[in-house]
Amino acid sequence: MYAYLIRRILATIPVMAVVAVFVFSLLFLSPGDPAAIIAGDLATADDIARIRERLGLNEPFLVQFGKWVFNLMRGDLGVSIFSNLPVSKLMLQRLEPTLMLTSTTLVIAICAAVPMGVIAAWKAGTFIDRGVMLFAVLGFSFPSFVLGYLLIYTFSIKLEVLPVQGYTSISKGFGPFLNNIILPSLTLGMVQAALVARMTRTSVLEVLAEDYIRTAHAKGLATHKVLIGHALKNAAVPIVTIIGVSFALLIGGAIITESVFAIPGLGRLTVDAILRRDYPIIQGVILVFSGAYVLVNLAVDIIYTFLDPRIRF
Amino acid sequence: MTATTPAAVIDIIEPPKPIGQQIVEFCRRNTTVVFGSILLLSMVIIAIFAPFFAPGDPLALAPARRLRPPSETYWFGTDMFGRDVFTRTIYGTRISLIVGISVSFLSTLIGLVIGMLSGYVRMVDAIVMRIMDGLMAIPGILLAIAMMALTKASVENVVIAITIPEIPRVVRLVRGVVLQIREQPYIEAAQSIGTRFHRILIKHILPNIMAPLIVQATYICAAAVLIEAGLSFLGAGTPPNIPSWGNIMAEGRTFFQIAFWIILFPGLFLSVTVLAINLLGDGLRDALDPRLARRM
């Protein structure tokens, strides 16, 4: 068990190494002169030279990479081209809204999707089941920037019950925070909920065909106890897996959702960086988000061993 | 499949039905495939015959008729420069479908080659899979953003930027199937009679991968259409002089409180297209690969 944990934790190192190498080499693999592209169409030769110097593009590849990794180890993600501030500082300032948005979304999505999936599996083939499956396919198809504007139009402009855009920190009270975060969370949570509901349905459906479910029914156990205590518990592993895998979708969606709802988080930082071609920021955001993805999936793998005692390594 | 399974026996006894009847039966059994295909086909027709459906110029400016709401002349209204949103949305169909189809074709092709080699050659496998694990850890849209930030905005670059993050998904799928199949007795038999390496891959392994690969390609197409729109919406995708659904929405967002139609109509076209591709994918999955259907 401990040997497995250590092996699993060590396995994240090569993954992060590949991410780092890839993100760094993009500057060199991209066709044309990255310094000229970052500088933009109106740049003078001096500007381009300055940016080349700043990105360290004058030095040999391996020297640059060594320096970059060394700084990375000390938590130094480089300096923004546009504002001259350290990338790590800029990211820390924007961390809270993104963290709040993604965690609220996950809570809402899981709380809605797991019961939906269980009920759909229990009532398989009925119109309830069809309804859940229809919701799932629609959830995949409506992108967050379409759904977000539809929700804003309905709840903020027509019904005037929620604020149009913006973000209020939770430190200024839970009510105002919730008012602002509810629409973005629903928007971002749609895909997540669709995925989790679908996976829950399939997984529970498989377990429901097992003999011990029939036995549980036969000994007179209440339906809800069979569904939650027996079926859902045994169906949990694939559901947790899909939550871990879909974390990448959650991050990608957060960038767009923050942009729709004008939330000053990491996504907005990224979008502003795109417009200014501030590559060090984009680099930093990728590294941090990929790191988060790797950690979440590490956590998922560890949770398995608690969820399912049959899994032994 | 061996000759002793019941399905094969029935095949031998019953004469094959005429093709027309087979198609009708397939359609009756797979209504989602039919529904998805019809929706998607209409989008393809709209894209090909865009100038016929929308005779105007999608780039024509007319400041005098800015921000007009939908009416009989301007079905989807006009934007802040007086451009006709209907014309622009119709032309936007082209970009979305071109990107969707190119990305799914390119990523499946590249992923297929890498995946087959990786599954069949142990030496390649160790290295390739480490690289793929790393690529998978980067959220696709972020990777695309990074690549777009370093290149000039063009449709080709958008296609490349979306294709690369999709490749690992195909590689994993193909490799998984190859690993299962290469232990089968008929592969061993082929090897023992001296069949060449590339022949085994193409004649024996490839046919087994086709069904899940086609399903995967459909889902990649849907994802690519979504990511292209997302990138363009964020300002990191198709250049502004080519109307794409993401671009139109990005330009309309400043005015969405007073001119909601600029965002609504391209958004609906986008959602319906993605829905059509997803339905087609779900239907194909159920029809082609019952095992996968149970797993999803």
Task: Look at residue B288 and tell me if it is in a domain.
Answer: yes
Quickly list H helices, chain A: 2-10, 12-29, 34-39, 45-55, 61-73, 87-122, 127-141, 144-151, 174-208, 211-218, 223-225, 233-234, 236-245, 247-260, 266-276, 279-307
Q: What is the largest CA-CA distance in chain A?
A: 82
Task: Look at residue B2 and tell me if it is in a domain.
Answer: no
- Could you give the CA distance from residue B215 to residue B173 in angstroms, rounded to a whole number? 11
A282 closest CB neighbour out of B146, B256, B263: B146
Total domains in chain B come to: 1
- Could you give the CA distance from residue B246 to residue B160 in angstroms, rounded to a whole number? 18
Task: Look at residue A58 and tell me if it is in a domain.
Answer: no
Distances (CA, A) of B133 to A13, A38, A67, A290, B205: 11, 29, 25, 11, 24
- Residue B285 contacts residue B215 (beta carbons within 8 Å): yes
Task: Look at residue A277 and tell me if it is in a domain.
Answer: yes
Distances (CA, A) of B57 to A231, B71, B81, B86: 59, 18, 13, 11
The predicted structure's pLDDT at residue B59:
77
- Residue B175 contacts residue B125 (beta carbons within 8 Å): yes
Task: Look at residue B129 and tell me if it is in a domain.
Answer: yes
- Could you give the CA distance from residue B148 to residue B236 in angstroms, rounded to a whole number? 6
Residue B263: list chain A partners with CB under 8 A: 146, 149
- Could you give the CA distance from residue B291 to residue B288 in angstroms, rounded to a whole number? 9
Task: Look at residue B65 and tell me if it is in a domain.
Answer: no
B230 closest CB neighbour out of A26, A137, A145: A145
Whether B142 sits inside 8 A of A294 (CB atoms) is no
Q: Which residue of A33, A145, A266 to mutate against B (max B Cβ within 10 Å)? A: A145
Please indicate if any CB of chain B lies within 8 Å of the CB of A57: no
The torsion angles phi and psi of A86, rounded to 5 degrees, stand at: -60, 135
Which residues constitute the domain of residue A216?
A: 96-312
Please indicate if any CB of chain B lies within 8 Å of the CB of A150: yes
CATH code of the domain containing B160: 1.10.3720.10
Whether B142 sits inside 8 A of A285 (CB atoms) is yes
Dump pLDDT digits (tens) for B203-219.
Answer: 888 888 888 899 999 99
Task: Look at residue B49 and tell me if it is in a domain.
Answer: no
Which residues constitute the domain of residue B208?
A: 73-295
Task: Look at residue B141 and tell me if it is in a domain.
Answer: yes
Neighbour tally for B162: CB within 10 Å? 32
CATH code of the domain containing A218: 1.10.3720.10
Total domains in chain A come to: 1
The predicted structure's pLDDT at residue A61:
78
Residue A79 forms beta bridges with which residues?
A86
Task: Look at residue A67 and tell me if it is in a domain.
Answer: no
Digitized pLDDT (tens) for each residue of chain B, 296 residues in all: 444 555 555 555 566 677 788 778 777 777 888 888 999 999 999 888 888 877 777 777 777 777 777 877 777 777 777 788 888 888 999 999 999 999 999 999 999 999 998 988 888 888 898 899 899 889 889 999 888 888 888 999 999 999 999 999 999 999 988 888 888 888 888 888 988 888 888 888 888 888 889 999 999 999 999 999 999 999 888 988 899 999 999 988 888 878 788 889 999 999 999 999 999 988 888 887 655 444 44
The predicted structure's pLDDT at residue B3:
47
Dump pLDDT digits (tens) for A136-172.
Answer: 989 888 988 899 999 998 888 888 888 877 888 888 8
As for the ipTM of the complex, it is 0.87
For residue B106 the two structure tokens come to: 């390119």
Distances (CA, A) of A61 to A21, A50, A64, A67, A128: 11, 18, 5, 10, 59
Task: Look at residue B35 and tell me if it is in a domain.
Answer: no
Task: Look at residue B290 and tell me if it is in a domain.
Answer: yes
